[in-house]
Amino acid sequence: MTAPDSKSDKPNLYDMNRDEIATLLKTWGEPVYRARQIVEWMYKHKAASIEDMTTLPKSLRERLAADEQFSSDGQTIKRLFKLPDGQLIESVLMEYDDGRRTACISTQAGCAMGCVFCATGQMGFARNLTSGEIVEQAVQFARELEAQGDRLSNVVLMGMGEPLHNYDHTLHAIRILNDPDGLGIGQRHITMSTVGLVPGIRRFADEGLQAGLAVSLHAATDEERSKLLPINQRYPIADLIEAVKYYIEKTGRRVTFEWALIRGENDTPEQGRQLGMLLRGLLCHVNMIPLNPTGGYDGAPSDPARVAAFQAELEHYRVSSTVRVRRGIDIQAGCGQLKAAVIAKKAVAAEKTARRRGPERAR
């Protein structure tokens, strides 16, 4: 069994850039050029274990293996990763017809933001992921893709958790993903999605990166948004839009607004009009997706006629938008639903086992 804190006291190689690995090696009296070799094994060859790094002397491999938790123990249930302390996180690989291969990865186990329709929000917060744990999710997909002669082209931080609530680890992870010695994913091919933590957005704008920003808006008035996203009470829409403008000013990049279409809630022509007025003239795009039903929320997805009328309102204000197709919806929109499903399945299995054994042994 793994002790709950076993992860935290062992460094993870994916947490470190080349210089940091070199520093570690120096303290061991190893030549610094080994750091380059290690990094090449990690990201170029995507070695699955330290043992596979065959150009390193055996003694160094043994030392690294003893000191490192190289990987999330390889237990993957359909992109559900089990971390050594037992936390489950999920990542999704999306393959598009135009050749893009996008990894949707998590930044936290659970989430503290409590958005009412979100499966992760319904679970509550467990812990922040380390930057290594964030990076590894993408490396895992990159490794699988390369084995098929393909490559990972994009990363979106849109899985479980709120990236700006785990700011430092998220930023370090973005830099490693982007590093030519790391996965070498272009900054413009990395997108971070936030529920709208205003100070975090401003700080992110000041990083001098070209990474994409997606903001989960979901409602155009404070009253409606606060009902769906409690964090809106702290950072209301006007402040959020100011921060987004600042991001656009600093990066010159078009910002995406996410909108989960909920029947009768935020898909009315009136909401469409309000959204149009809010966003008109802004360098932005609205990404709509019919709500994914979750266990803890009784809202339903909008029907197509409603969606079309809503989109027409946006067009009127010249706000561009797309409606995402519900393709493989259960895992695509992800966000905690895979983990929720596995837990539910386990609960059912446990119940069946209990029934077989008889009530006296049921727990």
Site for ligand SAH contains 292 (CB under 6 A): yes
What whole-number distance in Å separates Cα of residue 36 and Cα of residue 323?
A: 44
Q: Which span (14-22, 142-150, 193-201, 272-280) binds ligand SAH, by CB under 6 A?
A: 193-201
What whole-number distance in Å separates Cα of residue 304 and Cα of residue 301?
A: 9
What whole-number distance in Å separates Cα of residue 142 and Cα of residue 222?
A: 40
Is residue 90 annotated as part of the catalytic site, yes or no?
yes
Among 335, 338, 339, 340, binds ligand SAH (CB under 6 A): 335
- Per partner kind, with CB cut-offs from 5 to 8 A, the member of ligand SAH, ligand SF4, none near residue 258 is ligand SAH
Q: Pull the structure tokens for residue 212.
A: 């994409």
Among 220, 241, 335, 340, binds ligand SF4 (CB under 6 A): 335
Among 162, 265, 267, 313, binds ligand SAH (CB under 6 A): 162
Q: How far is the CB of 163 from ligand SF4 (least distance, A)?
A: 9
- Do the strands 255-261 and 212-216 form a parallel or antiparallel pair, or are they unpaired? parallel
Is 338 exposed, middle or buried, given 0-12, 13-18 or 19+ CB atoms closer than 10 A? buried
- Do the strands 212-216 and 190-194 form a parallel or antiparallel pair, or are they unpaired? parallel
Output the DSSP codes for 283-319: SEEEEEEEPPPBTTB---BPPHHHHHHHHHHHHHTT-
Site for ligand SF4 contains 185 (CB under 6 A): no
Other beta carbons within 10 angstroms of residue 106's beta carbon come to 30
Secondary structure element (H or E) that encloses residue 331, with its range:
helix 329-332
Biggest CA-to-CA distance, the chain: 68
- Residues 6 or more apart whose Cβ sits within 8 Å of residue 349: none
Nearest to 178 by CA among 189, 162, 164, 167: 189
DSSP state of 98: T
Is residue 118 annotated as part of the catalytic site, yes or no?
no
Q: Pull the structure tokens for residue 58.
A: 């055996």
Nearer to ligand SF4, 50 or 103 (CB): 103
Nearer to ligand SF4, 160 or 279 (CB): 160
Enumerate the β-bridge partners of residue 260.
289
- Per partner kind, with CB cut-offs from 5 to 8 A, the member of ligand SF4, ligand SAH, none near residue 158 is ligand SAH
Tokens 């607004």 label which residue? Answer: 257
3-state secondary structure of 194: strand
- Per partner kind, with CB cut-offs from 5 to 8 A, the member of ligand SF4, ligand SAH, none near residue 291 is ligand SAH
Site string for ligand SAH, 79-118 (x = CB under 6 A): ------------------------------------x-xx
Q: How far is the CB of 116 from ligand SF4 (least distance, A)?
A: 9
Among 195, 211, 237, 261, binds ligand SF4 (CB under 6 A): 195
- Per partner kind, with CB cut-offs from 5 to 8 A, the member of ligand SAH, ligand SF4, none near residue 333 is ligand SAH
Q: Which span (63-71, 75-83, 285-293, 312-320) binds ligand SAH, by CB under 6 A?
A: 285-293
Which member of 30, 90, 258, 265 is catalytic?
90
Q: Determine the straight-line distance between the first and last CA of the chain, rounded to whole angstroms.
A: 21
What whole-number distance in Å separates Cα of residue 130 and Cα of residue 317?
A: 42
Q: How far is the CB of 174 from ligand SAH (least distance, A)?
A: 14
Residues 102-161 that bind ligand SF4 (CB under 6 A): 111, 113-115, 118, 120-121, 160-161
Site for ligand SAH contains 190 (CB under 6 A): no
DSSP state of 129: P
Which member of 111, 118, 284, 335 is catalytic?
335
3-state secondary structure of 72: coil
Among 136, 258, 267, 313, binds ligand SAH (CB under 6 A): 258
Residues 27-66 that bind ligand SF4 (CB under 6 A): none
Q: Which residues of this protein are in contact with ligand SAH, per CB under 6 A?
A: 115, 117-118, 158, 162, 193-195, 216, 258, 260, 289, 291-292, 294, 333, 335
> Mind telling me the catalytic residues?
90, 335
Q: Which residues of this protein are in contact with ligand SF4, per CB under 6 A?
A: 111, 113-115, 118, 120-121, 160-162, 195, 216, 335
